Amino acid sequence: MLKQSLQHSLQQKLSPQQIQLMKLLQVPTTELEQRVKEELESNPALEEGTEEEEKIADNSDEIEQNEENTREDFDLSEYISDDETPSYKTNANNTSADEDEKSIPLSMGKSFHEVLMGQLGEQKLDENEKVIAEHLVGNFDDAGYLRRDLESICDDLVFYQNISTTVDQLNKLLVKIQKFDPAGVGARDLQECLLIQIKRKNHSNPSVVLAQELLEDCFNEITKKHYSKIIKRKEVSEGELKDAIAEILKLNPKPGNSMNETQRTAQTIIPDFMLTSQNDTLDLTLNGRNAPELKISREYSNLLKAYSANKKGANKSQKDAVLFVKQKLDAAKWFIDAIRQRQNTLLTTMQTIINYQKEYFHDGDETKLKPMILKDIADIVKMDISTISRVANSKYIQTHFGTFLLKSFFSESMQNDKGEEISTREIKKILQDTVNSENKKKPYTDEKLKDVLKEKGYLIARRTVAKYREQLQIPVGRLRKEI
């Protein structure tokens, strides 16, 4: 049975202007420049310049669509004819209002696999061998390793290429490919990769000869850093072992990645904020690139006023043109306002962070960094946590003691032995300093690190030490051991 009923509901929706501001807030300086450039190109009513913005009449919203153009120097028919629909009416946006736009960067240059294929083309191979070799190279991962066994590759060639081959034939072709550059490609494990590289070294050097012997006979002991066992087994001195290990450390465990690194675009960090210190006074400024000089086009503003003054006899094309001009002027105003609000929000938030961490920002001593979460700053500036998160996202500040990501200033809190709240970043700094100053011949275990931190007043469990150590990308004690 059908029933009719009335229901009241209260919904909160962001306006297009608010969505625009949120998007602008989260982009760093470099992306903001591109965003401003795109807006200037797409909106002719927006211009660059230091001239003060022209005021548009407050009653612009009341302008009727039957306005007429009487300017002799501007003929609407040149832009919109009766049989032509304005392009802005046919535009479709199939994405949600608050969806982030993501551009895909294009990479120039040859990839790792393309470089190998190029070297393969220089080899004297018959048609079958060429297909097999290409199939082998196609099975290399990005690090340059062949992770699949040759028997499986034989089966693939039969099923997919209708080529019958043997493991021995595959192995012969693989040996040829292993002579390609970069050295170490085509290896099936780390040991083989390092051996391929060390065999290309100058063997008149005794350290290189010993390094090859160690890789062949004592690979497990090397990976576990059981140096005393190696010295006893190979009957070498500590100095000789140290020189041989130094040769091994020069080798590249991921030869394919070395090629990929060259394809990556170098990224220059452009700070969004500048902090200077003079006579114990901290002075915060916004990077000038975050404050572009924008204004409303005077020509478009005057054009709208001309339309407003002549309302008689307007045809459909002229009405559409009036609407188009008004939309562009409104969009330009909204964008300029959003940029200004962005500047104010950035400065207010960053100044609050500096005030909150005043002791730290005076000299950069990380042990003075107080626990701080997004909510702490949001409560002070009376903004939503998501807004503070957008401000901290991908933004950098240049200080007199270095350039830092804003997110790095936020950390959880713990208590020391005096019951005082301290930042987890402070504990990580002490942990890093302790590891840096340890005796590398007898590096600290996680248990010992826990005891050292306890002596300094930081009461944390061994598993927490292990977690912080991993976050700092510090290996376990036995892997930090040196001769």
Is residue 24 within 8 A of residue 337, CB to CB? The reply is no
Run of H or E including 131 = helix 127-138
pLDDT at 59: 44
Residues 6+ apart with CB under 8 A from 3: none
Residue 293 is encoded by which pair of tokens?
């000089």
Instruction: Kindly list the structural domains of the chain, giving each domain's residue range(s) and its CATH number in brackets, ordered by start.
Output: 414-483 (1.10.10.60)
Measured N-to-C along each axis, helices 446-455 and 424-437 cross at an angle, to the nearest 10 degrees, of: 110
Run of H or E including 252 = none
The closest alpha carbon to 466, from 458, 474, 456, belongs to 474
Is residue 145 within 8 A of residue 193, CB to CB? The reply is yes
H helix intervals, 183-315:
190-198, 206-217, 219-223, 227-234, 238-249, 255-263, 298-309
Mean pLDDT in runs of 10 for the chain (483 residues)? 68 64 80 85 80 46 42 41 44 47 50 88 90 92 92 91 91 94 93 95 93 94 90 92 93 81 58 88 85 79 70 64 81 86 91 92 85 91 90 89 89 73 82 91 90 88 90 87 80
pLDDT at 186: 93
- Cis peptide leading into residue 182 (ω within 30°): yes
Is residue 150 within 8 A of residue 167, CB to CB? The reply is yes
3-state secondary structure of 421: strand
Is residue 214 within 8 A of residue 206, CB to CB? The reply is no
pLDDT at 250: 92
- What is residue 264's DSSP assignment? S
Is residue 458 within 8 A of residue 430, CB to CB? The reply is yes
The closest alpha carbon to 372, from 386, 354, 387, belongs to 354
If you search the block for the tokens 């699949």, which residue do you land on?
A: 148
Q: Give the chain's end-to-end CA distance (angstroms, integer).
A: 86
Run of H or E including 53 = none
pTM equals: 0.55
Q: How far is residue 203's CA from residue 244's CA, in Å, rounded to a whole number? A: 12
Q: What's phi and psi for 380, nearest 5 deg? A: -75, -45
pLDDT at 332: 84
Concatenating the DSSP letter of every residue in 328-378 gives HHHHHHHHHHHHHHHHHHHHHHHHHHHHHTHHHHHH--GGGPPPB-HHHHH
